[in-house]
Structure 1
Amino acid sequence: MTENDNLQMKPYPMNDRAEGERVCFSFVSRTASCGIMLYDRGTGRLLKKIPFTEKDRTGYVYCRTVENIDVKTNTYLFYEEDRLVPDERAKVFPQRTGYGRERSIADLKAGFDTGEFDWGEDCFPRIPYSQMIGYCLHVRGFTRHASSGVRDRGTFSGIREKIPYLKEIGVTTLELQPAYEFMEVPLKEEQRLPLMTPFGIMEETSAGRLNYWGYKRGYYYAPKAAYAAAEDAPREFRELVRALHEERMELVMQFYFPGDVNQNEIAPILHYWVKAYHVDGFHLLGENLPIDLLASDDLLADTKLWYCHFDTARIYGKAEQPLYPHLGEYNDTWYYEMRKFLKGDGNMLGSVLYHMRHIPEKAGDIHYLTNYFGLTLADMVSYDYKHNEINGEENRDGNDYNASWNCGEEGTSRRQSVKKLRIKQMKNAMCLLLLSQSAPLIFMGDEFANSQKGNNNPYCQDNAVAWLDWKDAKKNAEMLEFWKLLIAFRHRHPILHPDRELRLMDYLACGYPDLSYHGKYAWQPQTENGCRHVGIMLCGKYAKFGSGSDDTFLYIAMNMHWESHKLALPRLPKGMKWEAAFSTENGIGTKTDLREEENSEWQRNIAPRSIQVYVSVPVKEKKARGTVEK
């Protein structure tokens, strides 16, 4: 048996496989008359029609090795009877078509990706969830606006140009909305088709409707050509991943699999992106996914997998502890509970305290207040209702309930009191996000209050509604600086990002539990239905700095009521005192130092709808009169 025969008898993996001038093609078909159409890439001229034979078939899979193919100048389509069929497992579509332009099947001739790329010393960062700061973005929308200042706007290269900015604001992990090949405009041959969004199938839409987000069945092995500035989309994507890894940053890709996708195909798709593109993880979306099998996949054991829920007890059993906990729960529970608390709803405190400390066993928890769906951070405090009229669905699309509050006036406001309150509410939201003990994630631009004008479902808006306006970074510099302050504060205090859930116990016998709650009086939290304020103390003795020394004590005073409330701070160990670090009401500094009251409790009046954070500091010894400080 020759090497060529051996290659021909192996239909898996199902992609084309090039070895020199030989290519092994695999195609699934239930018709007897099918084969390969080989074209010249430059002219589009048909070079050869190669039928599959009965000898090529195993089940419904046809597999054949073809000699004398120039992988640099040849492209191909499959055919069934008299119908041309694009290769749904193609690795690259070299014929460039501008984003949003209508394409035909003839435009989807597949090329060959040899995988040739100098990865150098590239390695996977494998950032633990306790250290992760996530940032979800749309590849095109992130830099397409002229204000982005990048050379290659709306592309993988555009993201690469923004890596210094992302690193500056503390991002460790990028999550990309669908960046594999998909048809943002239906093919010319398709007259009508259902439009799928994460909220379900919408009513039938005519050809030409733009699917900006890309949540539909795609060509899952190929990076989206229209997201590349150069002709070689695979190379540009690899350059992005390599550049991120050089800065010890990760890339996680969203993959949406509708119900008609063969479940057996999903694992090979993920394997391919890990091996060919060094992707760090996947956020899995879709219907009837084989989640347990993917979570137990040995090749993906070091790859982040995000899904709405994992049953780790069933996946791992009671005894097994994963070497690298790679599973991450990603659902909207935190999203809604925190939004309702932020706007002042009652009976939320118990849920909020649970979500702020919760870390699933043997997994991570991705928490967020904003995402690609729903209102942005700025719109969450500016609109009570969705405003999706521009989508052309008579405002029926998108979620009707957003747990948002407009702070007194719908939309843009000139009232200083409303504008001031909105800024404070956005800062409160950032505090809830970054002072919680799991893995935070935001949507692009929320760090500087980007707005989508109240549109909570811009699935078809390839324009300024969905593009990130980078001028807001300067316009809303106060928000951006507060975000940076919080990121730095979180990194400085390991007690804010432990690798497992805090236990509310003094298991070190140090006199303090790792986590405790307080009300008007220390150690006595008020959790009645109408209570919207609480003090949270984190004991630094349960977390270590890199030097091995203990972290400080932290106290987070939260009041989401429209009236001020007193909160007590517990006494610290001898030689330490509380000092104000920052406040969403007063900013940064220690102008609000505490004074001990007669009842020996330390209390502080917390302003309405505000968060005040304190840290423990050493008490400076008073100098005796006449002595000189050394």
Structure 2
Amino acid sequence: MTCHGHNVPVTEATAAPNALGPSPDPDLRLGAVVQSDGTTFTVWAPAAERVELALIDQQGGQRNLDLAHMGEYWTGFVAGVGHGQRYGYRVHGPFDPTHGLRFNPAKLLLDPYARAVDGELDFASPLIYDSSEGDSAGHVPVGVVVASSEPPPPISRPVPWTETVIYELHTKGFTKLHPDVPEHQRGTYAGLAHPSVISYLVDLGVTSVELLPIHHFLTEPAIAARGLPNYWGYNTLNYFAPHAPFSSSGSLGEQVAEFKAMVAAFHAAGIEVILDVVYNHTAEGGFDGPTLSFRGLDNRAYYRLTQGGTMYDVTGTGNSVDTSHPQVRRLVMDSLRYWVEEMGVDGFRFDLAVTLIRNERHEVDTVGHPFLAEVAADPVLGRVKLISEPWDVGNFGYQVGNFGTPWSEWNGKYRDSVRDIWRTSSYGVQDLAYRLSGSSDLYGDDGRYPYASINFVTAHDGFTLRDLVSYDHKHNELNREDNRDGTDDNRSWNCGFEGETDDPGVVALRKRQMANLMATLVLSTGVPMITAGDECGRTQHGNNNPYCQDNETSWFDWSLPGVWSDHFALTKKLLALRAAHPTLRQWHYFSGQPVVPGGRKDLSWIAPHGGEMTEADWHDGNLRTIGMFLAGDAIRGTDADGNVPVDNSFLLALNATAETRDVVVPDASWAPAYEVVLDTSSSGATEVVAGAVVPLAPRCLVLLRAL
């Protein structure tokens, strides 16, 4: 083994550094870069005094080589090393935790830029902590050298925001019980790419899958001590490596190829792949957590610290990544570009995104934070979808509506408003009207469009749709936290009985409420996000926080689409209506101006008396019956093919009360008659004439198409 360019024999690392030569790559590409005759290793550790590269064989044996110091970087070329080589770093320097310094060469560190990760964390070993002087090798995951390969083919037709329907799913849980997927592929990237799985999604009508975290993650030691795993994956160890346990083919780079094949399969079916990414914290936990990667390379740079060197936590996990530091931002940006350019993904949903826009004083900066500027200016990220979860748990952490372009946002206010109206707990219909029409109060004042609102009623975090109408209270006992975990603010209603029941009246009401919630979601202006299984009655038995339930509580039950065929058919019909009618998925906000002189407007709010809503109606706190008229000849902009669409007009009417409400259909200046295309009460009516008095059934939603 020789130093590149110097032909000097390399010796084993000793107490006196014997450095490798400088990297031949003038740009100092971070990570392990495979070349024709070897691999260049480069890591950023500006405060380190010495950095060793540890090459690890399959029996756990190590060969340690010293890297050359070049400014803030440590780098070296190792001949004869290539794809599949396992490796880590040992970093020397002062250990002074009160000043944020956590260097400890006894801890084998994972390269933050590793393209694959192999091995598991030994939760029971004290050697993973700085409090132990012993060597952590053999007890921690390590990096794997991965050679470059072709990215997946891009999707043939990128999905415009106006046509986007997001389906949030868990890579393992979605296929773990799928009868058509070969057993060894269930719960893996290959399982998710199975034709039966993809055809189900195509048939349902979704356009984009949003995968819960697939960056390589770990279970927290405290959770492992309770005998449970981190199932959801919001505990990232590495931002470049696909989670190895989701691979059916191996963990020495095979996970990269398998992930790319999965993306290619989705793209071939016209479905986008969006990743839920967790750049706000890492798996190293709090001050007393394990030293696995970032902490041992530069604790002061990667993490937000207090004056005393302890973690400044705005994520609730023990640490918070500090994107006010330029090199940390580089890590995030390099990771994002890698997943787009090399792994082929089509967008990202940023978990606790507010943490990423806190400045060096830990204050939220929605205007001038360099992370926002860098994302907005990046040509690679400019072609993918960017979605923020616009909150964290720190001071001023709730920032719904404040991210600006080019961001879309999880609209938590939409979720709360829609849940409240259908459980009869809203104050009137004012807030609901904003949510139905795209939330212009949140996104219309900063140059954004209705697609900035990612509308959702449920998500992985909380009740499923079925549980939302079946439980008033969380039932998280299986999590072994004495039911203290998970939110108590569920805004749910059990329809009169807590939990499952055979009472036909309760069951019928629950199904209608599920239909109302799904119809409201899909027919609202903005981008709908459906949680996997909500189309077919998936239940978590009242657990609103099953982050640690890697079992039937969380896995998708593939018998349900048949058992709940009526609700599946309703969801499929709703998505087909949305896809067919641009009136129901508008690009621009409504102006409220007439499209016919003296006649109907592009958007009109219809009161039960048949006329437009008055000031008194808007301030009636007991009003929970409303109509929404959308003019099909008022669509602004062009469709994906550059044509100006002309469509039907629609009247959406909902009655969220427990009583029948007589409503007056608008007069003939709006439309002479309407066809009933959807009625969650199944009243049987098929056509309604202008000016007619119609009894709107209790707790129902009706969609009428103007004739």
TM-score normalised over the length of structure 1: 0.85
Q: What code does the residue aligned with 2:695 have? A: N
CA RMSD after TM alignment: 2.9
In the alignment, structure 1 residue 340 sits paired with structure 2 residue 420: yes
Q: What code does the residue aligned with 1:535 have? A: G
Secondary structure of the equivalent of 1:419? helix
Taking only the aligned residue pairs, the percentage that are identical comes to 26
How far apart, in 2, do the equivalents of 1:450 and 1:289 lie?
A: 33
Matched residue, 2:263: 241
Matched residue, 2:383: 302
Q: Deviations over 1:355-398 (max 9, x none)?
A: 11125332521010010001000000000000001110110000
Secondary structure of the equivalent of 1:288? helix
How far apart, in 1, do the equivalents of 2:123 and 2:270 lie?
A: 34
Structural mapping, 1:519-534, within 5 Å: 519-525=607-613, 526-527=617-618, 528-534=620-626
Q: What code does the residue aligned with 1:50 have? A: L
Q: What is the deviation of 1:168?
A: 0.8
Q: What is the deviation of 1:541?
A: 0.8
Matched residue, 1:49: 64
Matched residue, 2:39: 23
Secondary structure of the equivalent of 1:267? helix
Q: What code does the residue aligned with 2:321 have? A: D
How far apart, in 1, do the equivalents of 2:28 and 2:621 lie?
A: 59
Structural mapping, 1:267-306, within 5 Å: 267-286=333-352, 288-290=355-357, 291-299=371-379, 300-306=381-387
**Is contact 2:22-2:77 (8 Å) kept?**
no
Structural mapping, 1:13-162, within 5 Å: 13-29=29-45, 30-41=47-58, 43-46=59-62, 48-53=63-68, 56-59=69-72, 61-72=73-84, 74-80=85-91, 81-94=105-118, 105-106=137-138, 108-117=141-150, 119=152, 121-123=153-155, 125-145=157-177, 147=179, 149=181, 151=183, 152-161=185-194, 162=197
**Is contact 1:431-1:611 (8 Å) kept?**
yes
Matched residue, 1:323: none
Q: What is the deviation of 1:401?
A: 1.1
Counting strand residues as a fraction of each chain, which structure ranks higher?
Answer: 1
Q: Measured at CA, do residues 308 and 45 of structure 1 come closer, stay the same or move farther in structure 2, by a change above 3 Å?
A: closer
The match for 1:255 among 277, 284, 296 is 277
How far apart, in 2, do the equivalents of 1:380 and 1:100 lie?
A: 36
Q: Deviations over 1:27-62 (max 9, x none)?
A: 244442431111334x4443x321124xx2413x21
Structure 1 residues 160-169 or 541-550, which shifts more?
Answer: 541-550
Structure 1 residues 212-221 or 503-512, which shifts more?
Answer: 503-512
Secondary structure of the equivalent of 1:24? strand
Q: What is the deviation of 1:229?
A: 1.1
How far apart, in 2, do the equivalents of 1:494 and 1:415 lie?
A: 40
Matched residue, 2:248: 229
The match for 1:164 among 183, 199, 208 is 199
Q: Deviations over 1:581-616 (max 9, x none)?
A: 1200017x6x343356xxxx2221100000111112
**Is contact 1:458-1:466 (8 Å) kept?**
yes
Q: Deviations over 1:234-256 (max 9, x none)?
A: 01111111111122211111111
Q: Measured at CA, do residues 510 and 8 of structure 1 come closer, stay the same or move farther in structure 2, by a change above 3 Å?
A: farther
Q: What is the deviation of 1:20?
A: 1.4
How far apart, in 1, do the equivalents of 2:387 and 2:425 lie?
A: 30
Q: What code does the residue aligned with 1:238 have? A: K
Q: What code does the residue aligned with 1:141 have? A: G
How far apart, in 2, do the equivalents of 1:69 and 1:432 lie?
A: 57
How far apart, in 1, do the equivalents of 2:568 and 2:403 lie?
A: 42
How far apart, in 2, do the equivalents of 1:89 and 1:67 lie?
A: 20
Q: What is the deviation of 1:65?
A: 1.9
Q: Measured at CA, do residues 491 and 572 of structure 1 come closer, stay the same or move farther in structure 2, by a change above 3 Å?
A: farther
Q: What code does the residue aligned with 1:215 have? A: Y
Q: Measured at CA, do residues 36 and 284 of structure 1 come closer, stay the same or move farther in structure 2, by a change above 3 Å?
A: same
Structure 2, unaligned runs of 5 or more: 7-20, 92-104, 129-135, 282-319, 323-327, 358-370, 391-398
Q: What code does the residue aligned with 2:356 have? A: L
Q: What is the deviation of 1:549?
A: 6.4
Secondary structure of the equivalent of 1:251? strand
In the alignment, structure 1 residue 610 sits paired with structure 2 residue 700: yes
Secondary structure of the equivalent of 1:561? coil
Q: What is the deviation of 1:410?
A: 0.3
How far apart, in 2, do the equivalents of 1:236 and 1:334 lie?
A: 36
Aligned length: 577
How far apart, in 2, do the equivalents of 1:436 and 1:179 lie?
A: 30
The match for 1:329 among 409, 423, 428 is 409
**Is contact 2:82-2:146 (8 Å) kept?**
no
**Is contact 1:518-1:567 (8 Å) kept?**
no
How far apart, in 1, do the equivalents of 2:534 and 2:603 lie?
A: 29
Q: Deviations over 1:395-423 (max 9, x none)?
A: 00000110000001000111100000000
Q: Deviations over 1:529-575 (max 9, x none)?
A: 10010111111111388886631121111000001112222234699
Q: Deviations over 1:53-93 (max 9, x none)?
A: 4xx2413x212222221324x22121233332222321012
Matched residue, 2:532: 444
Matched residue, 2:581: 493
How far apart, in 2, do the equivalents of 1:105 and 1:513 lie?
A: 69
Q: What code does the residue aligned with 1:337 have? A: S
The match for 1:356 among 409, 431, 436 is 436
Structure 1 residues 258-267 or 154-163, which shifts more?
Answer: 258-267
How far apart, in 2, do the equivalents of 1:314 and 1:417 lie?
A: 45
Matched residue, 2:563: 475
Structure 1 residues 138-147 or 105-114, which shifts more?
Answer: 105-114
Structure 1, unaligned runs of 5 or more: 187-191, 196-204, 317-325, 618-630
Matched residue, 2:11: none
Secondary structure of the equivalent of 1:390? helix
The match for 2:465 among 377, 386, 398 is 377
Structural mapping, 1:590-629, within 5 Å: 591-594=685-688, 601-617=691-707
Secondary structure of the equivalent of 1:511? coil
**Is contact 2:655-2:701 (8 Å) kept?**
yes
How far apart, in 2, do the equivalents of 1:64 and 1:208 lie?
A: 42
Secondary structure of the equivalent of 1:221? coil
How far apart, in 2, do the equivalents of 1:347 and 1:253 lie?
A: 36
Secondary structure of the equivalent of 1:223? coil
How far apart, in 2, do the equivalents of 1:450 and 1:384 lie?
A: 17
How far apart, in 2, do the equivalents of 1:575 and 1:399 lie?
A: 46
Secondary structure of the equivalent of 2:356? coil
Q: What is the deviation of 1:150?
A: 5.2
Structural mapping, 1:199-214, within 5 Å: 206=225, 209-214=228-233
Q: Measured at CA, do residues 164 and 68 of structure 1 come closer, stay the same or move farther in structure 2, by a change above 3 Å?
A: same
How far apart, in 1, do the equivalents of 2:511 and 2:123 lie?
A: 36
